[in-house]
Amino acid sequence: MMKLIKANDYNDLSRKAANILSAQVILKPRSVLGLATGSSPIGVYKQLIEWYQKNDIDFSEVTTVNLDEYVGLAPENPQSYRYFMNHHFFNHINIDKTKTHVPNGIADDLEKECEAYNHLLDEVDGIDMQLLGIGLNGHIGFNEPDGEFEKLTHVVNLNASTIEANKRFFEKIEDVPKSAISMGIKSIMQAKHIVLIVSGQEKYDILKQSLFGPVTPHVPGSILQLHSHLTVIYSCDREL
């Protein structure tokens, strides 16, 4: 089932998505949440923090697994996704940090790290709700357009377009890491409920292609059409 929800603007989108995540945690306090970084979810995290401060949500039993991390960036590096998650979310709520997971981008053996992350995903026994953004080239997590879908956690070379899109978070483009560790398509698709948030007119075409075009690894987000419980919240000027 695909549910499309049109939001009025970024703020509305953030509140709607936060409402859904919040309901998930209220209904199942021991939820496993799959989380994303980037611009899209910042408003969602901000809203959840506000509700936490009002005593409306309790994160003490929640486990989180993040989609991805840059290779070569340590957790204390402000550009790393671990830092992002602490800064934008975890530092402000009552989550047990040992239950928050982001791939380790500075692992000596990256292949081993991928295996360990897959093992972790097995151990937590499935993601209850996965919050997802989508890249301009259709990537989800850092599953870049390719000839086939990568099933499990893997090291990926980032596309020139992704490096270009992400340079806004760095001082200069040379500072953007060229590779990342990303959860695979199978792990994402095994989440019980996927909440995709998409904001901005520039994402309209890729969103439309992902949801209504052919399912192909050249548009990784297109696989979401096959998910049994997908909620898409989008704020673009046009209806889909």
Q: HSE-up of 236 (CA within 13 Å, CB side)?
A: 18
**Interacting residues with ligand F6R between 136 and 155 (CB under 6 A):** 139-142
144, 154, 166, 193: the active-site residue: 144
Facing residues of 65 across strands? 34, 101
**Interacting residues with ligand F6R between 177 and 196 (CB under 6 A):** none
Question: In this structure, what DSSP letter does residue 80 have?
Answer: S
The region of 36-44, 46-54, 91-99, 187-195 touching ligand F6R under the rule CB under 6 A is 36-44
CA dihedral 81, 82, 85, 87 (to 10 degrees): -100
Taking CA 12 as the corner, what is the angle to CA 7 and CA 16, rounded to the nearest 5 degrees?
Answer: 85
Q: Using CA atoms, how far apart are residues 138 and 98, in angstroms rounded to an integer?
A: 32
Nearer to ligand F6R (CB atom), residue 30 or residue 163: 163
Binding test (CB under 6 A) with ligand F6R, winner from 43, 105, 135, 184: 135
Parallel, antiparallel, or unpaired: how do β-strands 32-35 and 63-66 relate? Answer: parallel
Nearer to ligand F6R (CB atom), residue 43 or residue 59: 43
**Interacting residues with ligand F6R between 55 and 74 (CB under 6 A):** 67-68
104, 118, 137, 166: the active-site residue: 137
By CB under 6 A, is residue 233 in contact with ligand F6R? Answer: no
Helix (H) or strand (E) holding 129: strand 129-132
Instruction: Please identify the residue of the shown chain whose CB is closest to the bound ligand F6R.
Output: 133
Q: Which residues are catalytic?
A: 68, 137, 139, 144
Q: Which residues of this chain interact with ligand F6R, rule CB under 6 A? A: 36-40, 67-68, 133-135, 139-142
